[in-house]
Structure 1
């Protein structure tokens, strides 16, 4: 079966950008545009409204998106079931995680999985862990690795891998910050300390809750996408940041920052695998999932 058009369609619904979607699928924007036009001709309706600046799903496109996701899921399930009957799995699994998670957790998982299932191809994509669950819900990725949010979205399964504390970090050479960072840090000092925080996501949510609990409003120097960038800015002396320990332990700049003894501690990250519960019906996805005991 040729599922290529459905996959291209879903990729475009996820990005709403012909350039990015074509890059993700290793085709030219013109080839993607022709494929979408072919699909629209086959279903008989416009699936997107598009002009020189924007791409928007039509109402019919939203309905077709649900069909496309379910059709690809059912195809994966029956295909994998047939291969399971043949006692050897073949196919591909799409995995998404941060660069840090890829070499902190994924190497061990994939090493064993490769031995057990040599016919399975792994397609690895890396990026901001904030988008991990969104990729699962949209159907663009089969498995993702990230920190568990509270609450967990309906229909999403989670399997824990590790606990990673969330740390306040300061530059090793504190310079002008030194008077503000004498422990225990006073309320007056917290009001003056320049903070380098995530733009959004679980880490930002927990930092905001911590400051609210302390009846403080942080002085935000910068809002950054990506934990590695926070470590970099802190190491340069721009302020105090918050990152998971797993990021700091794997950072080449770890010796240029120091961990602050801050009480109460921030809630730790519960890091693990995410997948749609209904995708775990697929023998291929289930085999990867069960690679981790827990």
Structure 2
């Protein structure tokens, strides 16, 4: 008994016609008929009643159909399992990271994945979060760490790894340094330095200002938290950062909660639905790293 014979048998049973079944499996009608005859001879029973205009299953055929389908499904599962292993032996992954990100667990995840699957080539690129999300949707990027405001990008699978509020950060001697907190209106009275458009932090800030009809003077932009902090520490402008970013520069800057901005800035891993085996494995590595 061969798998192709079972495939032809299922095709004839479903089409109820030898000609249509032959077209479906892409061989001649005589070829299908011959293979079905061989299968029937091996089983010792007719599987089809050929007396009418349609090929109808005999009692033996009805008994065999479910098992034939199960055998074909099992064979397909074997092929898929082997294919997934092969994809993890050789392949290529493109991983995106929002510009200026300093979250090192992503690098730990990449290192763990590379150690387990050294044959997979990894390309890492930086870009704005909105463009990375579009690239993931379009298939140009397999997995990305992106910033977002309040919720991960729509249409993608996601795992939020950071959920923080915005803060203002100022050096000693600044007019706001003695304050315990500031409102958004008080903050935008000063020049600001922050992330560029397309990042999660900037989206939260822009939306909060638009909702209050405020027009901030963003005089400086930088894609790295280090650069933003360095500019603020030199008195160039007030920095707008996340809580954890600002905490890293506590020796140079005082962080001030922005009392009326409740929307969090998120950092999330995003990928397409039904990912391939390499992406699934990298997501698993990332979840462990960020946990």
Q: Shorter-chain TM-score: which interval?
A: 0.5 to 0.7
Q: Provide, for residues 19-45 of structure 1, a one-character-per-residue CA deviation record: whole Å limited to 9, x for no partner.
A: xxxxxxxxxxxxxxxxxxxxxxxxxxx
**1:196, distance to aligned residue in structure 2 (A):** 2.4
**1:107, distance to aligned residue in structure 2 (A):** 2.3
The residue matched to 2:89 in structure 1 has which SS? coil
**In structure 2, how many angstroms separate the alpha carbons of the residues matched to 1:188 and 1:102?**
29
**In structure 1, how many angstroms separate the alpha carbons of the residues matched to 2:184 and 2:119?**
58
Mapped pair 1:245 → 2:243: yes
Q: Provide, for residues 126-160 of structure 1, a one-character-per-residue CA deviation record: whole Å limited to 9, x for no partner.
A: 34444321321332211110124566555321122
Question: Pick from 252, 258, 261: which aligns with 1:262?
Answer: 258
In structure 2, relative to structure 1, the CA distance for the partners of 1:139 and 1:168 (3 Å cut) is same
The residue matched to 1:290 in structure 2 has which SS? helix
In structure 2, relative to structure 1, the CA distance for the partners of 1:138 and 1:114 (3 Å cut) is same
- The total of aligned residue pairs comes to 208
Aligned to 1:274: 270
Mapped pair 1:144 → 2:138: no
Mapped pair 1:178 → 2:175: yes
Mapped pair 1:286 → 2:280: yes
In structure 2, stretches of 5+ residues that fail to align are: 1-78
**1:191, distance to aligned residue in structure 2 (A):** 5.6
Aligned to 1:66: none
User: Normalising to structure 2: TM-score of the pair?
Assistant: 0.58
Aligned to 2:217: 220
**In structure 1, how many angstroms separate the alpha carbons of the residues matched to 2:116 and 2:161?**
20
After TM superposition, list the pairs within 5 Å mapping 1:38-187 onto structure 2.
82-85=82-85, 89-98=89-98, 101=101, 104-149=104-149, 152-170=152-170, 172-174=171-173, 177-178=174-175, 182-183=179-180, 185=182
After TM superposition, list the pairs within 5 Å mapping 1:23-34 onto structure 2.
none
**1:95, distance to aligned residue in structure 2 (A):** 0.8
Aligned to 1:205: 203
**In structure 2, how many angstroms separate the alpha carbons of the residues matched to 1:223 and 1:207?**
14
Q: Which moved more, 1:253-262 or 1:177-186?
A: 177-186
Aligned to 1:192: 189
**In structure 2, how many angstroms separate the alpha carbons of the residues matched to 1:180 and 1:188?**
16
CA RMSD of aligned residues (A): 3.5
In structure 2, relative to structure 1, the CA distance for the partners of 1:124 and 1:249 (3 Å cut) is farther
**1:220, distance to aligned residue in structure 2 (A):** 0.4
Q: Provide, for residues 81-128 of structure 1, a one-character-per-residue CA deviation record: whole Å limited to 9, x for no partner.
A: 654255953212111114654652212212322333232222112344
**In structure 2, how many angstroms separate the alpha carbons of the residues matched to 1:227 and 1:141?**
22
Does the CA contact (< 8 Å) of 2:100 and 2:224 recur in 1?
no
In structure 2, relative to structure 1, the CA distance for the partners of 1:167 and 1:137 (3 Å cut) is same
**In structure 2, how many angstroms separate the alpha carbons of the residues matched to 1:184 and 1:150?**
21
Does the CA contact (< 8 Å) of 1:191 and 1:216 recur in 2?
no
